[in-house]
Amino acid sequence: MQRYQKMLQANRAWVEGKLRLRPDFFTQTAKGQQPELLWIGCSDSRVPAEEITGAEPGELFVHRNIANQVIAGDASLLSVLQYAVDVLKVRRIIVCGHTHCGGVAYAMTDGGWSTVDRWLDRLRSLRRQNEQELKKISDEEERFDRLVELNLRAQLRNLAQTETVRDAWSRGALLPLHGWIYDLRTGLLEEVETLDAKSAQLC
């Protein structure tokens, strides 16, 4: 049996398990969603948002891309953000990076001219801006981890500058922005930074 066929079987087993615990689970979730959180994370297959947070269907509104980027011209991200904030009325937003990120690792090289290279251009610029600090870190894994953190903090600030977040803050919404890092070596999430309307003004 091929992997995709096993996934279909696993889905049926999952459905049966949910229905045993709560017979109305799917009829209720089909009625609509009211997630409290928007998750902006990396596309890496090892960082499934719902699984690592223990979230149930309906609890997270999720957007994922390579290296958890928040780019002003990304219509996909901006659409998800606007829908989450203005329609779903999420209460907070999490940007989650992770150790051993392939996108960050690739941005540590000079790269080329592919679509992925263009996507990671801003991350490479961030690396160059912090070149002196990064060069002082002799341990390669520590240097890698530091760029993961710098990237996370940069994306949190990019998020704070979006029109959707600024408008929400101007209307008095609290809408804190949380920066988390998931450590693939331990399975643990760590909160690195939180921004709100006041602290974002100081950045």
Cβ burial 151-165 (10 Å sphere, 16+ → b, else e): bbbbbbbbbbebebb
Tokens of 109: 């090289």
98 is catalytic: yes
pLDDT at 203: 62
Domains of the chain plus CATH, in order, are 1-32 (no CATH), 33-201 (3.40.1050.10)
Determine which one of 3, 12, 22, 46 is catalytic: 46
pLDDT at 146: 98
The C-alpha atoms of residue 200 and residue 156 are separated, in whole angstroms, by 9
Question: What's this model's pTM, rounded to 2 decimal places?
Answer: 0.94
Q: How does strand 177-182 pair with strand 37-42?
A: unpaired
Determine which one of 20, 64, 100, 101 is catalytic: 101
The C-alpha atoms of residue 28 and residue 54 are separated, in whole angstroms, by 19
pLDDT by 10s per residue, the chain, length 203: 899 999 999 999 999 999 999 999 999 999 999 999 999 999 999 999 999 999 999 999 999 999 999 999 999 999 999 999 999 999 999 999 999 999 999 999 987 889 999 999 999 999 999 999 999 999 999 999 999 999 999 999 999 999 999 999 999 999 999 999 999 999 999 999 999 998 987 66
96 is catalytic: no
101 is catalytic: yes
Tokens of 185: 């070596």
203 is catalytic: no
State the DSSP code for 189: E
46 is catalytic: yes
CA angle 133, 135, 141 (to 5 degrees): 100
